[in-house]
Structure 1
Amino acid sequence: MTRFPLEVRSCPNLFEELAMADVAFVLTTIAVFALVALVAKGVTKL
């Protein structure tokens, strides 16, 4: 059985921080796609 490196064991909040980073990434991706959709909708009205 392999153990986590010392850096990971010394930071107990690492997994929570990684989860928050994942949530931020997903929200940013959704926001970008929504912005692209609005721009595309605006371009078609020209």
Structure 2
Amino acid sequence: MHFLREAALPVFEVNRHAKEELKKHVRGVRRIERAVEDTRDP
């Protein structure tokens, strides 16, 4: 069990970092979407 946990740790760290970066980009996109929604003409 310990061996498997240690073997998976590098993959877990990379995945966590990628997830954080993706969330940063998604937050930025949502801000742009809100700005566009407010300026649309009906």
* More contact order relative to length (CA 8 Å, sep ≥ 6): 1
Match of 1:32 among 23, 26, 29: 26
User: TM-score, normalised to structure 1's length?
Assistant: 0.65
Instruction: Structure 1 unaligned segments of length 5 or more: list them.
Output: none
Q: Which has the higher helix share?
A: 2
User: TM-score, normalised to structure 2's length?
Assistant: 0.69
Cα distance in structure 2, aligned partners of 1:40 and 1:10 = 44
Taking only the aligned residue pairs, the percentage that are identical comes to 5
Instruction: Structure 2 unaligned segments of length 5 or more: list them.
Output: none
Following TM superposition, the consecutive aligned residue runs of length 4 or more in structure 1 with deviations greater than 4 angstroms are 10-13
